[in-house]
Structure 1
Amino acid sequence: MFSLQTIFGSGKQFYELLDESADAAYEAAKALHAMLKEADRQPALDAFKLARVRERSASDKIGKALVESFMVPIEREDIESLGSALYKIPKQIEKFADRYSLALQHLEHIDFAPRAAMLEQAASVVVEMIHELKHMDLDRMSVLNEKLRSLENEADRLMLELYRDIYSGKLDHLQMFLLKEFFEILEKAIDRCREAGVVAYQIVLKNS
């Protein structure tokens, strides 16, 4: 039998699970930046796999809690949307790490660290936004949302510069392909952070 607390739900458990999910995304981003700024840049895939395991675990717990809880602190659809958005961040980062490990011999001349640093910053802002959900402070969330938007805009600007390099005619076909492929994966990971932030912001906007 379910306990009354299970049936009626506890807002605290959902906020804690969302925090756990955001933390896992941040750990993946931090691991990627740490790897790419090292001189040898040898991929240590265990860190990314662990982050994905943590993320999947948190996602499963959120789904289970939604089924078992009669009452929730915010709308179920919002919890599901936010959980889904957070789930996609480490998934995208792991995609980069897996492919990077296969193409490392062709990537020694490419510096991914600055973009990875931006991704880590974006994931850090997402952690703050998720942590702030329980307070429903619109002013604070607006500041964080703007910070995340600025990071996304800067990433877009850097991508335009990258395309300028790609189409300059100075690179061979393999270099062009790899630059485009890997930087677009990083850009998409930042976009995933932005998407999670937008969902969190809209939740506070709706409930404030």
Structure 2
Amino acid sequence: MFSLQTIFGSGKQFFDLLDEAADAAHASTKALVALLKDPTAVPSLDAFKLARQRERIASDKINHALVDSFITPIEREDIESLGSALYKIPKQVERFADRYDLARHHLADIDFAPRGVMLEQAAGVVVEMVRELRSMRLEKMSKLNERLRVLEAEADRLLLEMHRELYSGKLDAADMFLLKEFFEILEKAIDRCREAGVVAYQIVLKNS
């Protein structure tokens, strides 16, 4: 006798699609670290555009699957929320990269690389958290959530140091305005990782 799960599928493809979205977000942060570690190199934004394209494809697949599937492994609203949170990460990273490419001649004395590394590490933890949804292990997810919280706190500390430099009086008004924009974009990218992690953690809390 066939079960409904056999007829309609188990919905496990959603985990694969969320993995794709998380991997694309992580790829965008890796590209940013490469860009920031070698500011003298001729930049290429192809990696950022590819990551955004991968993210859009994964997001479209998730939306179509939600329409077509009778069964989902977790609540539909949770899938939508996590997919949306993941989508915002490479979008914010590409925004930073586009502006950095245009204004890099004004940023020669600013080392964004340590903050970029923090962002890449945070995105890496998000990848682990999304993959952990298959097993719904609360203890493991709690540890990953704490790792992400610590990274966010450290990133906030580093960004605060940059703000001290910003308001040190050494910069003119134009440079202050420019750097403030970059600080806020980078800070928001890290916040996007944290938001995605919180959604993943809450899913496990609800289903464990």
Q: Same fold (TM over 0.5)?
A: yes
Partner of 2:63: 63
Distance 1:7 1:43, change over 3 A: farther
RMSD, aligned α-carbons: 1.5
* DSSP-derived class of the 1:73 partner: coil
Per mean C-alpha deviation after superposition, the further-off stretch among 12-21 and 148-157 is 148-157
5+ residue gaps, structure 2, are none
* Contact 1:7 1:70 survives alignment (8 Å): no
* DSSP-derived class of the 1:44 partner: coil
* DSSP-derived class of the 1:70 partner: coil
The equivalences for 1:157-176 within 5 A come to 157-176=157-176
Partner of 1:115: 115
**Distance apart, 1:117 and its partner CA:** 0.2
Partner of 1:47: 47
Cα distance in structure 1, aligned partners of 2:174 and 2:155:
23
* Contact 1:6 1:69 survives alignment (8 Å): no
Cα distance in structure 2, aligned partners of 1:107 and 1:76:
44
Which residue type is aligned with residue 80 of structure 1?
A: E
Cα distance in structure 1, aligned partners of 2:163 and 2:44:
29
**Distance apart, 1:41 and its partner CA:** 4.3
Partner of 2:138: 138
TM-score (norm 2): 0.94
TM-score (norm 1): 0.94
Distance 1:118 1:83, change over 3 A: same
Per mean C-alpha deviation after superposition, the further-off stretch among 11-20 and 51-60 is 11-20
Cα distance in structure 2, aligned partners of 1:7 and 1:65:
16
Cα distance in structure 2, aligned partners of 1:7 and 1:189:
41
Per mean C-alpha deviation after superposition, the further-off stretch among 197-206 and 10-19 is 10-19
Per mean C-alpha deviation after superposition, the further-off stretch among 126-135 and 102-111 is 102-111
> What percent of counterpart residues are identical?
75
* DSSP-derived class of the 2:12 partner: helix
Per mean C-alpha deviation after superposition, the further-off stretch among 167-176 and 14-23 is 167-176
Distance 1:113 1:125, change over 3 A: same
5+ residue gaps, structure 1, are none
The equivalences for 1:51-130 within 5 A come to 51-130=51-130
**Distance apart, 1:47 and its partner CA:** 0.2
* Contact 2:115 2:159 survives alignment (8 Å): no
Per mean C-alpha deviation after superposition, the further-off stretch among 137-146 and 164-173 is 164-173
Per mean C-alpha deviation after superposition, the further-off stretch among 84-93 and 151-160 is 151-160
Cα distance in structure 2, aligned partners of 1:185 and 1:150:
20
The equivalences for 1:168-187 within 5 A come to 168-187=168-187
* DSSP-derived class of the 1:11 partner: coil
Partner of 1:32: 32
